[in-house]
Chain A
């Protein structure tokens, strides 16, 4: 899975930090911090009921609701399934993602009106996810090695939107694909939880285009989970609020729950 995707997806996604390993004798570097984000304990699997509010520049609000299921696989073979329940025009649409350690993820889309599953390309990872300020990569992730990592600051302290203080690593992730719309991400990684609590995405000119913040971070069943987060697009003055209404870890999900058959079966 990719850094930036971990950085963003995982963070809102929630989760825990059961970090692995200790600090290196020579001190951490960017890749090490990225690996901690990637490898932290998120349970064997998880299920989240997610509510997404998309606010436009004039104050208009649209809402999306979906269920997100995740399963950790051996050697980075993670699985993810997103199923929309609202609004009506995308109800039952499903997106299935199979991640691979050293290869591009496979993605499958089920649109009920189309009546069949389509294999889709992953090249649009940084495009908006269902009209929100989040990208597909934020939600579904990319390849870890699609980015290079640099530790910009190893001992920072700041406050979150609620005013609470936390120590952070300041991490820069650079996409190897020079054509990516947002090739650089600056992330503030909570040293305790290895959750990204604040991030800024920069465009190719180095200008900040998107800002991510975790509003509510808590432990659920012992796993750190970002229960509320926002992604704002500066130039368009839009914002997407993401709230986890229900979360459950170690549900007992199986490979069959992440099969193409399951993707189709859940549609109506």
Chain B
């Protein structure tokens, strides 16, 4: 806690004293949120983020950044929490054909917006995904990335992530967060990837190039899913009066291997993007059941965007198909029947955005619809910048549809928020 407080103090000090120092940038923000369907409301989150870049000659660059964030939640289950973390601590070495990035940082894969099946290197903070964007939600990990630039457009990229980091539903008091969908009333033993460095190692390779005006990549990655999969087991006594002796719920971060491909091209007023991922999963979670089974999944997405009457309009479709290994299919220990797995889904993403008044006003609509689970999220944002570097942003988020699938977990989490942001 002392370390966190010291880091928070350092960040605040930097923000206050060196706002114009060369290489230092960041933002201070205050977010007020009310959840109409939640007892713990309203919330106030304040945050300072600062990053400093130091460039030494043409070959070496250091990036150091961090943030301090605080939470005050009112109503039933009032809460307060704080966190201060490094958000970036990396060095990048650039040579004629090779660059190496090492440290606590991010490496982005994939080309689609918001839902990117092959963007697997960094886990997400889902609260940031809902409050801000996928970019803001991506959490740094310790990694080493080497890129060999055969030509300007042809690159071989190798990424190694020696230490696993799980995804978060919220970095602030996660168990009480409105974005934590866990409904298990019990404490669960979760087993993190363990063993030797090599057994924990995640990583992959990606080859990127251009053919004409089409940029495309193929890649492969081996790692652990950043969200837990749960299984339930019990010991039976054989006695009719007390048939179950003990229940054990355990969670793991399932191992998987994937291959991926993506492309991007711009034609006249249109930009087209696509991604496809095939993965071999050691454990896939059954729907609403503490059962897992191995299997293979395919996710393929296609998107297009263009400018239309001053609006940026984007649409994406993502198709998901899972093939579960039936021979290993266990029965649900609670119900004794075969569990149900999400074998197919079709998700649509739509974004409409417009900036106007010399880019001092912004309106944005964002929606995701899951055609199989028949639920979705709609988000409307309006922002105004009354002076340079300062923004006031209002957001309304509405979840609707059936309580199924990932989005269905957030059905009660509609919210309204106002955020003040000062960039420096």
Contacts of A238 in B (CB 8 A): 358
Give CA–CA (A57, B312) in the complex, Å.
Answer: 26
Contact call A119/B215, Cβ cutoff below 8 A? yes
Give CA–CA (A221, B359) in the complex, Å.
Answer: 36
- Counting chain A CB atoms within 10 Å of each CB, the highest count among B94, B265, B389 belongs to B389
Contact call A265/B268, Cβ cutoff below 8 A? no
**Does any Cβ of A come within 8 Å of B2's Cβ?**
no
Contact call A127/B307, Cβ cutoff below 8 A? yes
The 8 A CB mask of B5-35 against A (1 = contact, 0 = none) is 0000000000000000001010100000000
**Does any Cβ of B come within 8 Å of A128's Cβ?**
yes
**Known interface pairs A121-B268, A123-B307, A124-B307. Does A114 touch B108 (Cβ–Cβ under 8 Å)?**
yes
Contacts of B266 in A (CB 8 A): 106-107, 119-122
**Does any Cβ of B come within 8 Å of A245's Cβ?**
no
**Does any Cβ of A come within 8 Å of B388's Cβ?**
yes
**Does any Cβ of A come within 8 Å of B270's Cβ?**
yes
A91 to chain B, nearest CB (A): 6
Contacts of B129 in A (CB 8 A): none
Give residues 296-327 of B contacting A (CB, 8 Å): 306-307, 310
Contact call A113/B135, Cβ cutoff below 8 A? yes
**Does any Cβ of B come within 8 Å of A104's Cβ?**
yes
**Known interface pairs A119-B215, A120-B266. Does A261 touch B136 (Cβ–Cβ under 8 Å)?**
no
Task: Indicate which residue in B23, B152, B357 contacts A261 across the interface (CB closer than 8 Å).
Answer: B152
Contacts of A192 in B (CB 8 A): none
**Does any Cβ of B come within 8 Å of A132's Cβ?**
yes
Give CA–CA (A10, B107) in the complex, Å.
Answer: 38
**Does any Cβ of A come within 8 Å of B423's Cβ?**
yes
Contact call A89/B307, Cβ cutoff below 8 A? no
Tally of chain A residues near chain B (CB < 8 A): 37
Contact call A265/B135, Cβ cutoff below 8 A? no
Contact call A120/B271, Cβ cutoff below 8 A? yes
**Does any Cβ of B come within 8 Å of A219's Cβ?**
no
Closest residue of B by beta carbon distance from A122: B266
**Does any Cβ of B come within 8 Å of A62's Cβ?**
yes
The 8 A CB mask of B370-389 against A (1 = contact, 0 = none) is 00000000000000000111
Contact call A268/B389, Cβ cutoff below 8 A? no
Tally of chain B residues near chain A (CB < 8 A): 41
Give CA–CA (A222, B265) in the complex, Å.
Answer: 40
**Does any Cβ of B come within 8 Å of A77's Cβ?**
no
**Does any Cβ of A come within 8 Å of B47's Cβ?**
no
Give CA–CA (A121, B304) in the complex, Å.
Answer: 11
Contacts of B213 in A (CB 8 A): 106, 119
Contact call B269/A88, Cβ cutoff below 8 A? no
Contact call A62/B358, Cβ cutoff below 8 A? yes
Give CA–CA (A107, B271) in the complex, Å.
Answer: 11
**Known interface pairs A115-B108, A121-B268. Does A87 touch B307 (Cβ–Cβ under 8 Å)?**
no
B6 to chain A, nearest CB (A): 25
Contacts of B25 in A (CB 8 A): 88, 91-92, 268
Contact call A131/B268, Cβ cutoff below 8 A? no
**Does any Cβ of A come within 8 Å of B413's Cβ?**
no
**Does any Cβ of A come within 8 Å of B281's Cβ?**
no
The 8 A CB mask of B104-147 against A (1 = contact, 0 = none) is 00111000000000000000000000000001101000000000
Give residues 268-283 of B contacting A (CB, 8 Å): 268-271
Give CA–CA (A56, B358) in the complex, Å.
Answer: 8
**Does any Cβ of B come within 8 Å of A118's Cβ?**
yes
Listed by A's residue number, 11 A-B pairs whose Cβ atoms lie within 8 Å are: A62-B358, A63-B388, A115-B108, A120-B271, A121-B266, A123-B307, A124-B307, A131-B360, A238-B358, A268-B25, A268-B51
Give chain A's interface residues, CB within 8 Å of chain B.
54, 56, 60, 62-63, 87-89, 91-92, 104, 106-107, 113-116, 118-124, 127-128, 130-132, 238, 255-256, 259-261, 265, 268
Give chain B's interface residues, CB within 8 Å of chain A.
23, 25, 27, 51, 53, 63, 94, 99, 106-108, 135-136, 138, 149, 152-153, 213, 215, 264-271, 306-307, 310, 355, 357-360, 387-389, 391, 423-424
For the complex with contacts A119-B264, A127-B307, 4 further pairs of A-B residues with Cβ separation under 8 Å are A62-B358, A123-B306, A128-B359, A268-B25
